[in-house]
Chain A
């Protein structure tokens, strides 16, 4: 690239032409105008390269940031919505069954709302996932499975309404289907979406291009300085004004690139640390909490025939309450308000755990009716809803932080993708303007 004759070298190069490019280059170095032409070619080539890399870096960082904010993060949020809506639907349907008699309208509404949430989120998740990816497969399976689940629950309700005990069997089949088929798919989608967010952070950072841009800027600056040193030694003029201006413009370009990319990186880091990571952890916590509530109801519905739900519940509670887990974490270091919300969730969950222990004590002590009564009691529901509400609030808060930081990370990058190449072209032009009069002197 350096050997390509730059605009300034179109002048006939004496009688040494047509003897091979390397030889020509060597010949150029032996004469003063040749050396000048060489400097000019180098500067213009470096300027063009820098412009190209600046454009690509700006475009890549912008596209990566936009994809992160416009696709990967919404997909994560939708995957979480599907996952928690399905877990909540299962918990709600089982609660309604436990209550006995006609299902409480409140719980029926909540179940309907859950299914609506899941299907709405699924529709937009389908748009955000490539068809052949693991996430795409999960979306397809969920699209096929949710109607089947809804069908089982609807049949259970219809049978229940007619006073037929087979309704309970339909509900058990629905719950099994939800847990064994739907939730693992939702989990796969959630995991896939997390992977896409992580990948999104990497591609938004565009590290390879940034390094290349920094390198070409440094080389361009060095070349500019070296050219000016050569000129001040070989001529009587100390300063070459156009070349000085070119150096200034290059510095401006470097500062702008550095500033924008450092700001982007800072915002991306903040979006990850204060947005995406807390979102994933709190979302995990909400799903765990919902499954715990569902497992409590399942244990009671099974009337002691199935010890598995209680075992799952204990494991999930340990995971939820672990150090540096969803409930007990350094949330207040991120944001004191968030810390307060999460503290509320943690206290609420501890209260709920106490109630759950009472439910178990009653059931194990032979007071099944009392256990059911306590489990579906509005007061118990209120305690649990408090936990859920706090986690919902925390999630909304962190999603906002993420959206804000991603917006800030992307700002200026689109402008830079255009302005970067333009500044580089100006550098090329100034280099030409600075060296051309010196070349003229040799005519």
Chain B
């Protein structure tokens, strides 16, 4: 009994000590901020393929058809006939699309955005089939029609535009880095030579290799960001680098992790669809326009992403 009490006291002292260390560590960032702002700004680290404007999508053609009455011969009519919209997403990105361990259902901001598409087609947001797909296969499975639409924290960029269509931008993210709360690192550049994890097939993984530090961080690829968090907690990697929004979901699951530094890339999220059905892209863009205008986007943001701060203005639609 006494030993247990002693242990408790010792633990309290230890925790107080840790808290003290954290207090010390959190004061310098104010001095570090200017130096972090001086090196080359984020966009240089972005994909070199600037042959297009990845934010510009296809313009909606007129008003939305009423739910349940899709124009004949359109891809939406095909989906309507099938009876469900097939969504490709992940199940381990907390806040955006993750499996709720209590209910077993996949839910989040991305899933609710996709439900708005289902609602526009069927008048019922639940007529949706969720398929969890690996990040590395998001483009392939969209192209071959395995899924109708991918809504999965997916960056719209020119390289991917060559294979699939993207909707207008529905979320603006940027890459940051997550480290242990004890790490002295303040920016991704401080992690030169260290093992930094990202999901295979994500833009985040390519971006890690482009970080201007000598030596560059060692990029470690995992099948999913959930696997990255497991590797981080098992000390197999020192940091995880991906979009701030995904990192926020990880930090929420691990009190000993923190997200550091500036956004060193811009990652505009779009919904990916097959390029064979441009009418579907136009339809989705019309749904997104309506969502931005009638407050659905803001409500969805507040439902899932409140932890990231108050809802900003939705990203403005850009068209070709």
Is A372 an interface position by the 8 A CB rule? yes
**Chain B contacts for A305, CB-based, 8 A:** 131-134, 137
Chain B, 79-118, CB within 8 A of any chain A CB: 83-84, 86, 91-92, 94, 98-104, 106
Closest to B252 in A: A164
**Using a CB-CB cutoff of 8 Å, which residues 79-103 of chain A contact chain B?**
98-101
Q: For A172, what are the chain B residues with a Cβ–Cβ distance below 8 Å?
A: 226-227
Q: In which size bucket is the chain A interface?
A: 20 to 34
1/0 contact string of B124-136 vs chain A (CB within 8 Å): 0000011111100
| Contact in complex: A168, B132 (CB < 8 Å) | no
In contact, A169 and B226 (Cβ under 8 angstroms): yes
Rounded to whole angstroms, the CA-CA distance of A98 and B103 in the bound complex is: 10
**Residues in A135-170 with C-beta less than 8 Å from chain B:** 155, 159-160, 163-170
Take A366-B129, A368-B129 as given contacts and tell me if A168 and B103 are in contact as well, using a CB distance cutoff of 8 Å: no
Contact residues in B for A160 (Cβ distance below 8 Å): 101
Q: How far is the CA of A155 from the CA of B231 in the complex (A)?
A: 13
Q: Which of B94, B98, B133, B226 contacts A304 (CB 8 A)?
A: B133
A166, B92: Cβ atoms under 8 Å? yes
- In the assembled complex, B260 has its CB within 8 A of some CB on chain A: no
Q: Which of A101, A172, A366 has the most CB of B within 10 A?
A: A366
- Interface status of B213 (Cβ within 8 A of chain A): no
Asked if B165 is an interface residue, CB under 8 A from chain A, the answer is no
Complex Cα distance, B215 from A227, in Å, reads 96
The residues in A between 265 and 311 inclusive whose CB is less than 8 angstroms from any CB of B are 302-306
B131 touching A304, Cβ below 8 Å? yes
Indicate if the CB atoms of A168 and B226 lie closer than 8 Å.
yes
Which chain A residue has the least Cβ–Cβ distance from B147? Answer: A304
Q: How far is the CA of A372 from the CA of B134 in the complex (A)?
A: 21
Question: In the complex the two chains form, is B104's CB within 8 Å of A303's CB?
Answer: no
A168 contacts B99, C-beta separation under 8 Å? yes
With A and B bound together, what is the CA distance between A226 and B137 in angstroms?
Answer: 89
Q: List the A side residues contacting B14 at CB < 8 Å.
A: none
CA A181 to CA B228, docked complex, whole Å: 20
What is the interface residue range for chain B against chain A? 20 to 34
Q: Is the CB of B130 within 8 A of A165?
A: no
Q: Is the CB of A159 within 8 A of B133?
A: no
| B253 proximity list for chain A (CB < 8 A) | 159, 164-166
CB-defined contacts of B227 to chain A, threshold 8 Å? 169, 172-173
* Interface residue ranges of B160-191 to A (CB < 8 Å): none
Whole-angstrom distance between the alpha carbons of A155 and B229 in the complex? 12
Find A100's partner among B98, B101, B131, B224 (CB 8 Å cutoff): B101
Distance (Å) between the CB of A361 and the closest chain B CB?
14
Contact yes or no, B92 A169, CB < 8 A: yes
The contact string, 1 if C-beta is below 8 Å from chain B, for chain A 358-400, is: 0000000010100010000000000000000000000000000
Tell me the minimal C-beta distance from B239 to chain A in angstroms: 16
Q: Are A366 and B224 in contact (CB under 8 A)?
A: no
A residues less than 8 Å from B254 (CB atoms): 166
Within the complex, the shortest CB–CB distance from B204 to chain A, in Å, comes to 17
Indicate if the CB atoms of A100 and B102 lie closer than 8 Å: yes
CA distance A168 to B253 in the complex (A): 12
Q: State whether the Cβ of B316 lies closer than 8 Å to any Cβ in chain A.
A: no
Whether B134 pairs with A303 at a CB distance below 8 angstroms is no
State the CA gap A172–B90 with chains docked (Å).
14
Known: A100-B101, A100-B104, A303-B106. A166 touches B226 (CB 8 A): yes
Q: Which of B92, B129, B134, B137 contacts A165 (CB 8 A)?
A: B92
Cα distance, A303 to B94, chains bound together (Å):
17
Q: Is the CB of A173 within 8 A of B129?
A: no
- Judged by a CB distance under 8 angstroms, whether B19 is at the interface is no
Please state if B230 and A366 are interface contacts (CB–CB under 8 Å). Answer: no
Q: Is the CB of B91 within 8 A of A366?
A: no
Question: Roughly how many angstroms separate A437 CA and B106 CA in the complex, as a whole number?
Answer: 104
Q: Which residue of A lies closest to B107 (CB)?
A: A165
A251 to B91, CA, bound (A): 81
CB distance from B87 to the nearest CB of A (A): 11
User: Contact at B106–A100, with CB atoms within 8 Å?
Assistant: no
Nearest Cβ distance between residue B141 and chain A, in whole angstroms? 9
Contact with A along B272-294 (1 / 0, CB 8 A): 00000000000000000000000
Given contacts A100-B103, A100-B104, A159-B253, contact A166 B230 (CB under 8 A): yes
Contact with B92, one of A100, A168, A306 (Cβ below 8 angstroms): A168
A164 partner residues in chain B, CB cutoff 8 A: 94, 101, 253
**Closest B residue to A306 using CB positions:** B134
Closest beta carbon of chain B to A298's beta carbon, Å:
12
B101 with A366: CB separation less than 8 A: no
Q: Give A99 to B103 CA distance when docked, in angstroms.
A: 9
User: What is the bound-complex CA distance between A426 and B213, given in angstroms?
Assistant: 93
Bound CA–CA A320/B227 (angstroms): 33
Evaluate contact between A169 and B101: CB separation under 8 angstroms. Answer: no
Residues of A within 8 A of B226 (CB): 165-166, 168-169, 172
Q: Mark A303-326, 1 if CB is under 8 A from B, else 0.
A: 111100000000000000000000
A299 smallest CB distance to B (angstroms): 11
Note all chain B residues with C-beta closer than 8 A to A163. 100-102
Residue in A closest to B223 when the chains form the complex, CB atoms = A172
CB distance from B109 to the nearest CB of A (A): 14
Which residues of B are found within 8 Å of A159, using beta-carbon distances?
101, 253
Contacts of A304 in B (CB 8 A): 131-133
Contact A303 B230 (CB under 8 A): no
Given A100-B104, A101-B104, does the pair A368, B99 have CB atoms closer than 8 Å? no
Task: Please name all residues of chain A whose beta carbon is closer than 8 Å to the beta carbon of B98 when the two chains form the complex.
Answer: 165
**Chain B nearest CB: distance from A163 CB in Å?**
5
Chain A residues near B99 (CB-CB < 8 A): 165, 168
- B104: chain A residues at CB < 8 Å are 98-101, 372
Residues of A within 8 A of B230 (CB): 166, 169-170, 173
* A167: chain B residues within 8 A (beta carbon): 101
- Tell me which residues from 93 to 116 in chain A have a Cβ below 8 Å from any Cβ of chain B: 98-101
**Interface residues, chain B, with chain A CB atoms under 8 Å away:** 83-84, 86, 91-92, 94, 98-104, 106, 129-134, 137, 224, 226-227, 229-230, 233, 250, 253-254
- What would 6 A/B residue contacts be, using CB atoms closer than 8 Å? A163-B101, A165-B226, A170-B230, A303-B91, A303-B130, A366-B86
Q: Given A165-B91, A305-B132, 20 more contacts at CB 8 Å?
A: A99-B104, A100-B102, A100-B103, A101-B103, A164-B101, A165-B99, A165-B253, A166-B226, A166-B250, A168-B92, A168-B226, A169-B92, A169-B224, A169-B226, A172-B227, A302-B132, A303-B91, A303-B130, A306-B134, A368-B130
Shortest beta-carbon contacts, A-B, top 9:
A100-B104, A169-B226, A303-B132, A165-B98, A304-B131, A366-B129, A305-B132, A164-B253, A160-B101
